[in-house]
């Protein structure tokens, strides 16, 4: 029988206490306020978070009433405790692509132990092996910032925005794997970890110390991870063997999700509160400077040039020109990403556009195109 009212409940004559004398509450048996009987239909992939975000379960409120871990859609006690969340407005954490990105992340997890053909590594010329080890040292150092940063803010995010927290949990796992795979690569071919310079640490500190989550997200997702994504996109040119190519390709898929979330989040954060735009610009004014210093630090740039050139002997005629083409691509792509996020950086940035070979007028026409692999919403289509 369907139990829909207190009267139905009373008619069952259920006990009001246990044999030990403890009180019992049968209110849940009535179905509370939930939409009992609504049955999500699994799609070809199985039962996704999109499938169950139906009816009131899928309604993400702008400003949720409670600040507790009570599941969205349940019948919540009025006196549920306040967990001390400070990110209680949807535009402070949400991105409309976040549920799909979470599902994609879960479906595309990989293992650095199992999925990289480590057995195929062969002895490389000493300069190339050293350059690869230096690049891996920098990468394994900086990857974990994208774990620490979301972790720093997540417990401050209202649990009503559950899927955003779930997505950030996948980012945390992804970054642990990146840190792990580059550490493994540094050691796996008889080389090791080389030098760690203060420049990398200053960059990480700038990101970690951002005053708001949205500023932090702009620095991390738009600038930092965007930069790393574009380096991984050049993996075919950088990687000396198919082993590194695979590492870059798999890591690139993960980074693309993080950047897709951040780009959409920033766009919605600005739409939700126009004052946020100035805040983000300020963070990026500083962030771009620190980033340019990081990107041009002498050890990282020499190691990259050697890998692009295929050896120290070709660094002048091949390494440097390729590196400068790569820098143009990276910063064009960053500025275009800012446009997609609703930020006009091209007219504000103090990046040396002339030196980077970026033409302002050309850029405004081409800068807003969606990337090849992802559409305007940052999702794979």
Q: How many CB atoms lie within 10 A of CB 226?
A: 26
Among positions 159-198, residues that touch Fe ion (CB under 5 A) are: 175, 178
Which parts of 96-152 are beta strand (E)? Answer: none
Q: Which stretch binds Fe ion (CB under 5 A): 24-32, 142-150, 296-304, 331-339?
A: 142-150
Q: Which long-range contacts (CB under 8 A, 24 or more apart) does 244-252 make?
A: 244/132, 244/185, 246/115, 246/116, 246/117, 247/112, 247/116, 247/181, 247/182, 247/185, 250/110, 250/115, 250/116, 250/181, 251/178, 251/181
Contact between 299 and Fe ion per CB under 5 A: no
Q: Cα–Cα distance between 244 and 304 in angstroms, integer?
A: 14
Tell the smallest beta-carbon distance from residue 223 to Fe ion (Å): 12
Q: Binder to Fe ion among 100, 143, 244, 279 (CB under 5 A)?
A: 143
Q: How far is the CB of 183 from Fe ion (least distance, A)?
A: 13
Closer Cβ to Fe ion, 146 or 335, answer by number: 146
Beta bridge partners of 86: none
Binding mask 216-235 for Fe ion (x = CB under 5 A): ---------x----------
The tokens for 142 are 């900086």
Write down the least CB distance from residue 128 to Fe ion, Å: 23
**Site size with Fe ion, rule: CB under 5 A:** 7
Choices 37-45, 141-149, 180-188, 321-329; region in contact with Fe ion by CB under 5 A: 141-149
Shortest gap between Cβ of 146 and Fe ion (angstroms)? 4
Q: Is 258 in the site for Fe ion (CB under 5 A)?
A: yes
Nearer Cβ to Fe ion, position 72 or 185? Answer: 185
Q: How far is the CB of 177 from Fe ion (least distance, A)?
A: 8
Neighbour tally for 43: CB within 10 Å: 10
CA neighbor of 136 nearest in space, from 197, 175, 181, 172: 181
Minimum Å distance from CB 225 to Fe ion? 4
Q: How far is the CB of 117 from Fe ion (least distance, A)?
A: 21
Helix, strand, or coil (residue 325): helix
Pick from 255, 277, 279, 377: which binds Fe ion (CB under 5 A)?
A: 255
Query: Segment near Fe ion (CB under 5 A), from 105-113, 138-146, 345-353, 367-375?
Result: 138-146
Cβ neighbours for 147, distance < 8 A, ≥ 6 positions apart: 171, 172, 175, 176, 179
CB 227 within 8 A of CB 295: yes
- Output 304 or 309, the one with its CB closest to Fe ion: 304
Q: Which residue stretches of 54-125 are H helix?
A: 90-93, 98-107
CB atoms within 10 A of CB 364: 14
**52/379 with CB nearer Fe ion:** 379
Question: How far apart (Å, rounded) are the C-alpha atoms in residues 215 and 380?
Answer: 26
Binding site for Fe ion (CB under 5 A): 143, 146, 175, 178, 225, 255, 258
């Amino acid at each position: 029988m369907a139990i829909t009212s207190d009267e139905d409940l009373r008619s069952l004559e259920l006990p009001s206490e246990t044999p030990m004398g403890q009180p019992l509450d049968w209110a849940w048996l009535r179905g509370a306020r939930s939409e009992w009987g609504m049955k999500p239909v699994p799609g070809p992939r199985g039962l996704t978070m999109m499938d169950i975000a139906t009816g009131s379960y899928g309604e993400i409120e702008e400003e949720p009433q409670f600040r507790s871990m009570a599941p969205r859609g349940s019948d919540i006690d009025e006196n549920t405790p306040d967990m001390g969340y400070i990110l209680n407005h949807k535009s402070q954490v949400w991105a409309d692509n976040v549920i799909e990105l979470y599902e994609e992340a879960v479906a595309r997890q990989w293992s650095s132990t199992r999925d990289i053909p480590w057995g195929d590594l062969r002895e490389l010329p000493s300069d190339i092996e050293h350059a690869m080890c230096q690049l891996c040292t920098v990468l394994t150092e900086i990857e974990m910032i994208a774990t620490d940063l979301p972790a720093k803010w997540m417990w401050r995010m209202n649990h009503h925005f559950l899927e955003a927290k779930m997505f950030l949990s996948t980012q945390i796992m992804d970054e642990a794997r990146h840190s792990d795979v580059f550490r493994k690569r540094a050691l796996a071919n008889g080389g090791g970890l080389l030098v760690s310079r203060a420049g990398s640490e200053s960059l990480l500190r700038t990101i970690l110390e951002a005053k708001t989550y949205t500023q932090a997200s702009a620095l991390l997702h738009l600038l930092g991870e965007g930069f790393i994504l574009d380096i991984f996109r050049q993996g075919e040119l950088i990687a000396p063997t198919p082993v590194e190519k695979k590492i870059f390709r798999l890591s690139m898929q993960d980074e693309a999700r993080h950047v897709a979330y951040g780009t959409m989040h920033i766009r919605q954060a600005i739409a939700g509160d126009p004052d946020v735009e100035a805040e983000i610009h300020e963070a990026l004014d500083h962030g771009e400077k620190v980033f340019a210093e990081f990107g041009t630090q002498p050890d990282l740039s020499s190691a990259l040039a050697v890998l692009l050139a295929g050896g120290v002997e070709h660094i002048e005629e091949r390494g440097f020109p390729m590196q400068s083409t790569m820098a143009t691509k990276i910063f064009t792509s960053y500025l275009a990403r800012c446009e997609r996020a609703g930020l006009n950086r091209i007219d504000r940035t103090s990046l040396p556009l002339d030196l980077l070979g970026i033409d302002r007028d050309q850029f405004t026409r081409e800068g807003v195109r969606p990337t090849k692999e992802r559409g305007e919403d940052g999702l794979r289509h």
